[in-house]
C-alpha cells in the first residue's frame, strides 16, 4: 500500500551563491518518512510552478517548514523595516492561501517555526519583527556559533494549557524545546488559539479553533532528531495518523480541542 504524501514546503536557496534551487532540510524529510510514516515531497513554493488546488490534490498533508526569510509584513498590514529581515514573497503567495484552504477543507498540516508564523498570518494575525528587542523577552535566536547539536539544544520550557490538545498529546503540562527564531506572534489571528508559551510569554504552540482537521503548529523545531526526541516523536506521529486518515478516506481525523 502506498504511503500518504506530505508536501514539505521548500525554500529558495542559492548553491555557491549563484545556482537557484528550491531546498528542504534533510531533517524534515527524515521526520516525515521515519516518524510520520509518509512519503516526503519537497514543494517548490512559487506560484509560477504550483497552484493551491494542484497541491491539495496531490498531497495528503503538508509540513510548513522553517526558513531564513520571514513573512513579508505587508501580509499583515505593516511596512517593511530593516528589522524584518529577508523575505520570500513567492512562498508567501503560495503558503498563505494554501493554509486557509486546508483549514476550511480539513486537510492536515503541521506548522514549524516560520510555518507556525505563517499559520497565524494566514488567519489574520501579526508578528513582531524581533522578539529579543521586546522588554522582558529572551533571545530566541539560533546561537551564532557551535555545532548543529549545540544550535538545536533544548533551551527553554514550553507550558501548555491544562487539558488542551498539546497537554493531551504529550501527557505533560511542560516540555523542553529548542529555540531558533527571531520573529514571533504579536496578535493571534482569527480562530488561532495560543496553547503553549515560553517562560517569557512568547507564543510557542497553536491550533486553529473549530478546524475540522489537524492544525497543530509550533514555534520550535521538532524535526531535529524527531525519532529520538520524546516531544517531537508524538507530534509527528499524531500528524502522520491524521495524514494517513485523510489519504484513506478524505475525512479528517479530528483532534478534540475542548
DSSP secondary structure letters along 122-180: HTT--EES-GGGSTT----SPPSSS-HHHHTS--EEEEE-TTSHHHHHHTSSEEEE---
Identified catalytic residue from 140, 167, 221, 253: 221
Helix, strand, or coil here: 131? helix
Question: For the chain, give me the number of helices (H) and strands (E)?
Answer: 7, 13
Active site residue 167: no
C-alpha cell at 54: 494542484
Active site residue 84: no
Identified catalytic residue from 75, 118, 130, 223: 223
Between strands 109-112 and 61-64, the pairing is parallel
Q: Which DSSP category does 87 fall into?
A: B
Distance CA 8, CA 6 (A): 6
Identified catalytic residue from 59, 113, 118, 130: 113
Residues in the chain: 258
Active site residue 34: no
| Residues tagged active-site | 113, 221, 223
Amino acid at each position: 500500500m502506498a504511503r500518504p504524501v506530505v508536501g514539505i514546503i521548500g525554500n529558495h536557496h542559492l548553491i555557491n551563491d549563484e545556482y537557484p534551487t528550491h531546498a528542504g532540510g534533510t531533517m524534515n524529510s527524515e521526520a516525515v518518512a521515519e516518524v510520520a510514516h509518509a512519503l516526503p515531497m519537497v514543494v517548490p513554493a512559487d506560484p509560477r510552478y504550483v497552484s493551491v488546488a494542484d497541491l491539495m490534490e496531490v498531497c495528503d498533508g503538508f509540513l510548513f517548514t522553517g526558513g531564513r526569510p520571514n513573512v513579508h509584513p505587508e501580509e499583515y498590514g505593516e511596512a517593511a523595516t530593516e528589522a524584518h529581515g529577508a523575505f520570500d514573497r513567492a512562498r508567501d503567495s503560495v503558503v498563505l492561501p494554501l493554509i486557509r484552504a486546508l483549514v476550511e477543507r480539513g486537510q492536515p498540516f503541521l506548522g514549524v517555526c516560520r510555518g507556525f508564523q505563517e499559520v497565524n498570518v494566514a488567519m489574520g494575525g501579526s508578528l513582531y519583527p524581533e522578539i529579543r528587542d521586546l522588554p522582558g523577552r529572551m533571545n530566541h535566536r539560533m546561537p551564532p556559533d557551535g555545532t548543529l547539536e549545540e544550535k538545536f539544544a533544548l533551551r527553554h520550557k514550553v507550558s501548555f494549557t491544562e487539558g488542551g490538545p498539546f497537554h493531551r498529546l504529550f501527557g505533560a503540562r511542560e516540555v523542553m524545546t529548542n529555540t531558533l527564531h527571531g520573529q514571533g506572534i504579536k496578535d493571534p489571528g482569527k480562530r488561532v488559539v495560543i496553547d503553549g508559551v515560553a517562560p517569557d510569554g512568547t507564543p510557542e504552540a497553536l491550533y486553529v479553533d473549530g478546524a475540522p482537521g489537524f492544525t497543530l503548529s509550533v514555534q520550535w523545531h521538532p524535526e531535529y532528531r524527531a525519532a529520538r526526541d520524546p516531544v517531537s516523536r508524538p507530534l509527528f506521529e499524531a500528524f502522520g495518523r491524521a495524514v494517513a486518515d485523510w489519504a484513506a478516506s478524505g475525512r479528517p481525523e479530528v483532534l478534540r480541542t475542548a
